[in-house]
Amino acid sequence: MPAAVKKVASILEELAPVSIALPGDPVGLQLGNPETEVTKILVSLDPDQAALEEAVARGAEMLVTHHPLFYQKLSSINEGSPEGALIAEAIRNKLNIYSAHTNYDITPQGVSYQLAKKLGLPVEGAEVLEVTGSDQLLKLVVFVPAGHEDKVRDGIAAAGAGQIGNYSHSTFQTDGTGTFMPGVGTDPYLGSRGQLEKVTELRLETILPVSRRHAVIEALNRVHPYEEVAFDLYPLDLDGKTIGLGLILEPDKPLPIEELVQLCRDRLNADDIRSFTAGQSSFNRIALCGGSGGSLIEQAVRRKADILISGDFRYHDLKRAESMGLALVDAGHDATERPGVDYLRQYLEKELQAGGFGTEVCLQTSEGAKWH
Ligand SMILES: [Zn+2]
């Protein structure tokens, strides 16, 4: 069975919740119908003419991108303008377009994490370069018939509940009596319709980050034996893990600029790489951010990074970095975001397959505009 657009959106929002996007960033379903079933999805960096033509040519009904289709509010869709023509063409071809932009930059497994992994730099446990918020915590309380508590605990722990520091499966349980009366049209696991049932149940409680909410509830419904699962979710006045833009990496040994540039060239397939050493020869506190990093120069200096790897640096960014003694590597906006785009495709494919959906996910092969 193919997945509906809304199912694809909910899978993407497990990875990159729309609630963590920067204010005003137009993320989520940009164009289309949440109820449409899609047999093929094309994943690309941009929702541009090349991506749109490829999606249509390959029979994809959905385009998933990092950069949004609409950055600003529209007052008209006039086919006399390039933007209007693109939108009209997407509508005529019934193409659904979904974008995960700053929410995918900010989420812990997002663009900068994928970039660091692709470069082979040590990313586990890395600090966030610019904190934008935290993955708020929720308390989950669920009532489980005795004997099923381990299966339920394992299921929700695998989906991300019960993680405190490096301890997994953290729960508290106490027993009591649950009551219910099965009504018309029910198919109860225990008891009979119209009769009050009293069952020994365990109250199992744990915590989870908001970003894992849908995954945990889905796992709970899957592993719990009851037809209707009784559970509560409470917001907690506790901050979870910090999230934000970019990362700070600390390799085991200082890396010379030549090695960093070579890594970008080989692993990102980036040929137009510019670097500025700020008079330093090697680097052991490396700030990194996929995309456009000029606005993070001051933050990289505040966080005592000695180099910033990103893209899109301008002449005045270079002068600011020089005045603060920060080295720069500019490996290109698109080259530093492509590992994130590749991962979006892999992630979607894996999750759709695990859900039993017959929806194919492919990566754009055509190219849009490029510098030469
Ligand atoms: Zn970008």
Over residues 88-111, the pLDDT tens digits come to 999 999 999 999 999 999 998 999
**Ligand 1 centroid – CA 237 distance (Å):** 33
**Ligand 1 centroid – CA 102 distance (Å):** 9
**Ligand 1 centroid – CA 312 distance (Å):** 10
- pLDDT digit string (tens) for 323-341? 999 999 999 999 999 999 9
CATH class assigned to 3-103+336-363:
alpha beta
So what's the pLDDT on residue 236?
A: 94
- pLDDT digit string (tens) for 135-154? 889 999 999 999 999 999 99
- 337: part of which helix (H) or strand (E)? helix 333-354
Q: How confident is the model at residue 362 (pLDDT cuts 50, 70, 90)?
A: very high
- DSSP secondary structure code for residue 101 in this structure: -
pLDDT at 368 over 80: no
So what's the pLDDT on residue 213?
A: 85
Distance CA 164, CA 238 (A): 12
Short-list 8, 29, 46, 27, CA closest to 366: 46
**Ligand 1 centroid – CA 337 distance (Å):** 7
The mean pLDDT of 291-296, rounded to a whole number, is: 97
Distance CA 69, CA 204 (A): 44
Sign of the dihedral through C-alpha 249, 160, 15, 38: positive
pLDDT at 271 over 90: no
pLDDT at 2 over 80: yes
Contact 368, 63 (CB under 8 A): no
| Cβ < 5 A residues, ion ligand 1 | 291
Of the CATH numbers 1.10.8.100, 3.40.1390.30, 3.30.1490.100, 3.30.200.20, which one belongs to the domain with range 111-133+243-335? 3.40.1390.30
Q: How far apart are the first and last CA of the chain?
A: 44
**Ligand 1 centroid – CA 292 distance (Å):** 6
So what's the pLDDT on residue 134?
A: 87
Vertex 25, ends 130 and 210: CA angle to 5°? 65
Of the CATH numbers 2.70.70.10, 3.30.365.10, 3.30.70.120, 3.30.470.160, which one belongs to the domain with range 136-235? 3.30.70.120
Q: How confident is the model at residue 169 (pLDDT cuts 50, 70, 90)?
A: very high
So what's the pLDDT on residue 190?
A: 87
Q: How confident is the model at residue 270 (pLDDT cuts 50, 70, 90)?
A: confident
Distance CA 330, CA 314 (A): 10
Check for a shared fold between 3-103+336-363 and 111-133+243-335.
yes
User: pTM of the prediction?
Assistant: 0.83
Beta strands 40-44 and 62-65, pairing class = parallel
**Ligand 1 centroid – CA 104 distance (Å):** 10
The mean pLDDT of 12-26, rounded to a whole number, is: 92
Contact 102, 23 (CB under 8 A): no
Phi/psi of residue 80, nearest 5 degrees: -75, -15
**In a 10 Å sphere around its CB, with 0-12 CB exposed, 13-18 middle and 19+ buried, how is residue 166 labelled?**
exposed
Distance CA 180, CA 45 (A): 51
Say which amino acid occupies 110. Answer: G
**Ligand 1 centroid – CA 101 distance (Å):** 8
Q: Where are the domains of the chain?
A: 3-103+336-363, 111-133+243-335, 136-235
- pLDDT digit string (tens) for 189-221? 888 899 999 999 999 999 999 878 888 998 999
Measure the CA dihedral 355/360/363/367, to 10°.
-150
Q: How confident is the model at residue 252 (pLDDT cuts 50, 70, 90)?
A: very high
**Ligand 1 centroid – CA 205 distance (Å):** 40
Distance CA 278, CA 48 (A): 37
28 versus 271: the higher-pLDDT residue is: 28
